[in-house]
């Protein structure tokens, strides 16, 4: 299995297909913008489809990855043009693994308010990490000093073909 | 794909027919501006038709909540109409399904506003 990572400053859809057809892992380095969030989301959807996830799981995986990318761009890097986000996508026989990292001040997951608590239910924000945890099987936080890396893991079911 | 808004009036209720994606950036801002425009014109009974909303993220959910509280705090009413399964499921898991007044029929939704 090839383990090499491919770095793109910008990702075009044809790059993504080429990378996926020859490797099991791709790594993107992108600017801190909404456009990058959309690219990361689209890549997650493509990967999840080719990993064999069903039509209900694919949009949920894509949404979780989008939320992680939004966190990295908005809350981590605060749209700073001098900072980048990285996103890596990997499929193994058992899992799809996505890592999203920023260069921000760091995020302590224990300080995130519960969006389901009565005092927070009408807040206009703060549901991103909750949705990530709702749609993925495992979510891990790692402090990068500076920055935060989120690892999102979705397990394949036995019925899904390995890639 | 960005979000589009069509505004119409039915029996004194302002119906906003939304289509596309309500996400961070353009979609959320478009929704916020549309609700502000309605309120600025003196109407505070708003029905958001989400039947053609293909996708909503946490920012979009937050924008719906903000619109709801803004209208309610101003003495008005905001209801949701025609949720897709995806939006329905998102409001369920975020426990917002019981916060909003949600309808699946336009005529009954319009009639449900207080006169």
Identify the pLDDT of residue B25.
81
Among B2, B24, B66, the residue to mutate for chain A (most A Cβ within 10 A): B24
Give the contacts of B9 (CB within 8 A, at least 6 positions apart): B15
First vs last C-alpha separation in chain A: 11
Model confidence at A161, in pLDDT bands (50, 70, 90)?
low
Contacts of A59 in chain B (CB under 8 A): 55, 86
Q: Is the pLDDT of residue A14 over 80?
A: no
Task: Quick: pLDDT tens for A56-100.
Answer: 999 999 999 999 999 999 999 999 999 999 999 999 989 999 999
B86/A59 CB distance under 8 A: yes
Give me the CATH code for the A3-155 domain, please.
3.30.565.10
Q: Is the pLDDT of residue A15 over 50?
A: no
C-alpha span between B63 and B31 (Å, rounded)? 7
* Mean pLDDT of the region A111-123: 95
Q: Which of residues 54-83 of B touch A (CB under 8 A)?
A: 55, 57-59, 61-63, 65-66, 68-69
Model confidence at A160, in pLDDT bands (50, 70, 90)?
low
Query: What token pair was written down for B67?
Result: 């619109």
Q: Complex ipTM, two decimals?
A: 0.90
Of B24, B68, B95, the CB nearest to A70: B24
C-alpha span between A46 and A10 (Å, rounded)? 17
- List of chain B residues with pLDDT < 50: none
Who has greater pLDDT, A2 or B79?
B79
B25/A123 CB distance under 8 A: no
Q: What are the structural domain ranges in chain A?
A: 3-155
A124/B62 CB distance under 8 A: yes
Quick check: B29 contacting A, CB < 8 Å?
no
Whole-number average pLDDT of chain A? 86
Closest chain A CA to residue B57: A63
- A74-79: Cβ within 8 A, 24+ apart: A74/B24, A75/A104, A75/A107, A76/A102, A76/A103, A76/A104, A76/A105, A76/A107, A76/A147, A76/A148, A77/A32, A77/A102, A77/A103, A77/A104, A78/A32, A78/A104, A79/A32, A79/A33
Task: Quick: pLDDT tens for A22-39.
Answer: 457 899 999 999 999 999
Task: Quick: pLDDT tens for B41-64.
Answer: 999 999 999 999 989 999 999 999
Q: Is the pLDDT of residue A17 over 50?
A: no
Model confidence at A157, in pLDDT bands (50, 70, 90)?
confident
Identify the pLDDT of residue A44.
97
Q: Is the pLDDT of residue A103 over 70?
A: yes
First vs last C-alpha separation in chain B: 37
> How many CB atoms lie under 10 A from the CB of residue A143?
11
Which H or E run contains B108?
helix B106-112
């Amino acid at each position: 299995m090839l383990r090499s990572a491919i770095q793109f400053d910008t990702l075009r859809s044809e790059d993504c297909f080429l990378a996926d057809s020859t490797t099991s892992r791709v790594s993107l380095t992108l600017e801190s913008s909404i456009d990058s969030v959309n690219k990361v989301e689209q890549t997650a959807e493509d990967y999840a489809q080719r990993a064999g996830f069903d039509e209900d799981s694919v949009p949920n995986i894509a949404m979780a990855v989008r939320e992680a990318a939004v966190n990295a761009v908005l809350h981590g890097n605060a749209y700073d043009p001098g900072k980048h986000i990285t996103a890596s996508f990997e499929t193994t026989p058992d899992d799809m693994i996505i890592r999203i990292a920023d260069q921000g001040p760091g995020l302590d997951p224990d300080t995130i308010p519960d969006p389901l608590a009565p005092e927070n239910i009408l807040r206009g924000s703060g549901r991103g990490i909750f949705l990530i945890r709702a749609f993925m099987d495992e979510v891990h936080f790692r402090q990068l000093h500076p920055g935060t890396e989120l690892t999102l893991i979705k397990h394949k079911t036995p019925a899904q073909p390995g890639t | 794909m960005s979000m589009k808004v069509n505004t119409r009036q039915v029996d004194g209720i302002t119906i906003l027919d939304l289509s596309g994606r309500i996400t961070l950036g353009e979609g959320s801002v478009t929704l916020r501006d549309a609700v502000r425009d309605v309120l600025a014109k003196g109407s505070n009974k708003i029905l958001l038709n989400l039947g053609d909303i293909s996708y909503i993220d946490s920012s979009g959910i937050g924008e719906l909540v903000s619109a709801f509280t803004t209208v309610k705090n101003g003495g008005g009413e905001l209801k949701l109409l025609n949720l897709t399964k995806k939006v329905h499921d998102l409001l369920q898991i975020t426990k917002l399904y019981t916060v909003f007044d949600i309808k699946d029929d336009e005529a009954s939704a319009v009639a449900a506003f207080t006169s």
